[in-house]
Amino acid sequence: MTKEEELQNRLNLLVQFGGVVSKETHIDKLLEVIAAQVKRILSCDRCTVFILDRHTNELWSKVAQDMQHTEIRMPSNKGIAGEVASTGRTINIRNAYDETHFNPEIDHLTGYHTKTILAVPLNNVGGRTIGVFEVINKTEGYFDSDDEGILQLLGSLAASAIENAQLYESLSKSQLETIYRLAITAEYRDQQDTAIHLKHISEYSALIAQGMGLPEKEVENIRYASPLHDIGKVGIADAILLKPGKLTPTEYEEMKKHTLYGAKILCNAESQLLQIACKVASSHHEKFDGTGYPAKIKGEQIPVYARIVSVADVFDALCMPRVYKPKWGPEKARDYVVEESGHAFDPLVVDAFKKVYTGILKIYAITDGKTTIIPGITKELHRTEF
Ligand code: C2E
Ligand code: SIN
Ligand code: SIN
Ligand code: FE
């Protein structure tokens, strides 16, 4: 192969790589896919992706050992990988065992003999180092400057895929569950069927996002972030939240603060998913024409997540009985949503809502009429009509 052909060949592999890794959202699988692709592209024996864990200041990875994958963790300043993570520089080594920084523990664990190493930092789009990419034992000779360039390029593609996958992994299942429990606690004071309402919001929002043609990733973001939109209701006094009738203007002003409380609860979180949830919590009562609250922002200024959840929330709030109103039939609620297109709601979101309406109706029909009684909330409250 001529140099020219080899470059062309690598370029093709690169394009393929981008396509393959952007599809995988499960972090373990993703790391496997990345390693397999990189080994092929750079003709080397091993590829290890180290991820920087900022909470513990460790680099973690998975290595193949006795046909199994073992998780390894090492201090983030240790080894060649640690050196790259802390300096942000690429390191290209011809004989690992000659290097003082080299950490032979992984070799000991895997029974492997490392000779050549090329290690580059994994930088995200913001330029922050999120890990280290190492390729080990080039099939022939040493890693050269072409290899360095390619690995850096692969690293930037891999970094964005890894960050996306981390979005879901950064919250363990039990953490997510804790958050949803908190959301349910926050809301169940004013609705018997909070769990159902949250499920509806989640499914409707995801359906609408899909209808708008948003990428799968965004659809998932909104599916998981939307149930937290009203979490700020924890900060609202019972006397207002549970008032079986119309709120006075002063009470309504207080009620509106649930958006600000929600933002406070969620916005300091490090997880990207909770950052999205924060946008939804703070902006789900903004209106497309700028007459909503709390910031009176309009149009595209309102995060798209919030524009979507706003439609899902109002549709479902209308279809559910509230302490302050009886429930509406879904057709009436649908008409209301359509009427508000361009006023309260983004016309594009409403169009998508109409497009997926049969899907929404199916989800609605599963739980309609089923009532779970949560102690502490009386039937009378819910039957009050105004
Ligand atoms: P929510 O009950 O979850 O209602 C969410 C949104 O759905 C409302 O936001 C409103 O846009 C829409 N919605 C709900 N019911 C109706 C209705 O009967 N007619 C119309 N046109 N739209 C409706 P909004 O108004 O900003 O209210 C936010 C939250 O404040 C409500 O959440 C609820 O918890 C509380 N709230 C609002 N009005 C009253 C009230 O008169 N009495 C009581 N007790 N709470 C109220
Ligand atoms: C290191 O970064 O020093 C460890 C190299 C390896 O993966 O064996
Ligand atoms: C429902 O049937 O959806 C809720 C019933 C209630 O809140 O009383
Ligand atoms: Fe709300």
Please tell me whether residue 214 adopts helix, strand or coil conformation: coil
C-beta 190 within 6 A of ligand 3: no
Those residues with Cβ within 8 angstroms of residue 138's Cβ, 6 or more apart along the chain or in another chain: 42, 43, 44, 45, 116, 118, 147
369 pLDDT band, cuts 50/70/90, is: very low
**pLDDT tens digits, residue range 244-282?**
889 999 999 999 999 998 888 888 776 778 889 999 999
Provide the 8-state DSSP code for 120.
E
| Active-site annotation holds for 379 | no
CA distance 354 to 352: 5
Q: Which of 62, 233, 279, 287 is catalytic?
A: 233
Determine the angle formed by the axes of helices 304-319 and 216-225, rounding to 10 degrees. Answer: 50
Percent of the chain with pLDDT over 90: 45
Q: What mean pLDDT comes out for the span 343-370?
A: 90
CA angle, corner 285, sides to 279 and 168, nearest 5? 30
C-beta 193 within 6 A of ligand 3: yes
- Map out the domains of the chain as residue ranges: 3-166, 188-366
Determine the angle formed by the axes of helices 27-41 and 3-23, rounding to 10 degrees. Answer: 170
Query: What are residue 92's DSSP bridge partners?
Result: 118
- Among 245, 249, 242, 239, smallest CA distance to 386 is for 245
Task: Please tell me if the domain spanning 3-166 has the same topology as the one spanning 188-366.
Answer: no
| pLDDT computed for residue 368 by the predictor | 62
User: Domain 188-366 belongs to what topology?
Assistant: Hypothetical protein af1432 (1.10.3210)
For 103, list phi and psi in degrees, rounded to 5.
Answer: -110, 105
Residue 31, classified by CB atoms within 10 Å of its CB into exposed (0-12), middle (13-18) or buried (19+), is buried
| pLDDT computed for residue 372 by the predictor | 39
* Nearest ligand, measured from the Cα of 251: 1
Mutate to test the pocket of ligand 2, among 114, 132, 143 (most ligand atoms within 8 A of CB): 114
**pLDDT tens digits, residue range 24-75?**
667 777 888 888 888 888 899 999 999 998 888 999 987 765 566 778 888 9
Tokens of 206: 């995801």
CA angle, corner 243, sides to 241 and 246, nearest 5? 105
Q: What mean pLDDT comes out for the span 126-140?
A: 90
C-beta 58 within 6 A of ligand 1: no
What is the residue whose two structure tokens read 């102690």? 375
Nearest CA to ligand 3 atom 3: 320
Predicted confidence (pLDDT) at residue 111 exceeds the cutoff of 60:
yes
Q: How far is CA 162 from CA 25, 123, 222, in A?
A: 8, 11, 19
Mean residue pLDDT across the chain: 84
Nearest CA to ligand 3 atom 1: 371
168 pLDDT band, cuts 50/70/90, is: low
Please tell me whether residue 79 adopts helix, strand or coil conformation: helix
| pLDDT computed for residue 280 by the predictor | 96
- CA atoms lying within 13 Å on the CB side of residue 170: 19
Q: Is the pLDDT higher at 370 or at 250?
A: 250
CA distance 370 to 78: 58
> Which class would CATH give 3-166?
alpha beta
Q: What mean pLDDT comes out for the span 190-197?
A: 71
